[in-house]
Amino acid sequence: MGLSAGELDAIRLSIQVGIWSVAAGLIPAIGLAYLLARFSFRGKAVLDAFVHLPLVLPPVVTGYLLIIMLGRYTPLGSLLQSIGIKFAFNWKGAVIASLVMSLPLMVRAVRISIEAVDRSLEDAARTLGAGSFRVFITITLPLSVPGIISGGILGFARSLGEFGATVTFVANIPGETQTLPLALYAYTQTPGAEMMAARLCAVSITIAVAALVISEIIARRAYGRINR
């Protein structure tokens, strides 16, 4: 297909951002899902709504809120900068934007899985003397693996398609923050670049389908193990 260096950069960056946002987001997502699925506490509805906010807000607004919370001159942003973590206009900022956007999808998928775990199994483990943490690690978590996998893949897919929050938070810098959707958008804005846009579109579809097929295979294996 003969992709240009810029296009290859965008593809590599998209995959890198997607993997990082799942890697960094999955553990908090599991924690939140467990909290929301198994406990009732004050402010649960608020936490639930807060986690789901990026799903309903326009992505551009989420990006704007990220600037307000983690921007270069905000207290939190300056604190992170002083310990060497910089989000402004680099790929780490793109990871943060993707992570925030995909977190609700990961939490939902994991939560449904945890809620489906038979509580009598957890209770049985408890009567045998296992503490809460041990029950979680040895019973709940392994039985939720299919949900965790599909959550991870959903999160990865969401990251691949992330546009609004990313472009607002870290702009569109080739080789640094220009992911596939951003490169694609730039092409649609250029007269005569239809072919290039179509090419990147084909690449996006290929990556997305490959991710879905892989997740399907892994999830089936996991189900097979659980049901054995």
Partner 1 sequence: MKNLLRGLLASALLLLCGSALYAQEKVYIYAAASTKEVVKELTDSYNKTAKVKTEFVTVFGSSGDLARQIEAGADADIFISADTKWSKYLDEKKLVEKGTISNFASNALVLIASPKAKTNLKFPDQLLEAIGDGYLAMGDPKPVPAGKYGQEALTYLKLWDKISNAKKIAFYPDVRKTLNAVETSQADYGIVYKTDAQLSSAVKVVYTFKEKSHSPIDYPVLGIAGKSKGESRAFLNFLKKKDAKKIREKYGFVVK
Cβ burial 141-176 (10 Å sphere, 16+ → b, else e): bebbbbbbbbbbbbbbbbbbbbbbbbbbbbbbeeee
Return the half-sphere exposure (C-beta side, CA atoms, 13 A cut-off) of residue 163: 9
Which CB sits closer to partner 1, 47 or 171?
171
N-terminal to C-terminal alpha carbon distance within the chain: 45
Which CB sits closer to partner 1, 136 or 169?
169
Query: Closest separation between CB of residue 190 and partner 1, Å?
Result: 5
Residue 171 as a binder of partner 1 (CB under 8 A): the answer is: yes
Residue 185 as a binder of partner 1 (CB under 8 A): the answer is: yes
Which CB sits closer to partner 1, 64 or 141?
64
CA–CA separation, 100 and 103 (whole Å):
5
Residue 16 as a binder of partner 1 (CB under 8 A): the answer is: no
CA–CA separation, 112 and 61 (whole Å):
28
Which CB sits closer to partner 1, 16 or 74?
74
Residues 64-103 within binding reach of partner 1 (CB under 8 A) = 64, 67-68, 71-73, 88-89
Question: Contact residues for partner 1 (CB under 8 A)?
Answer: 64, 67-68, 71-73, 88-89, 167-168, 170-174, 176, 182, 185-191
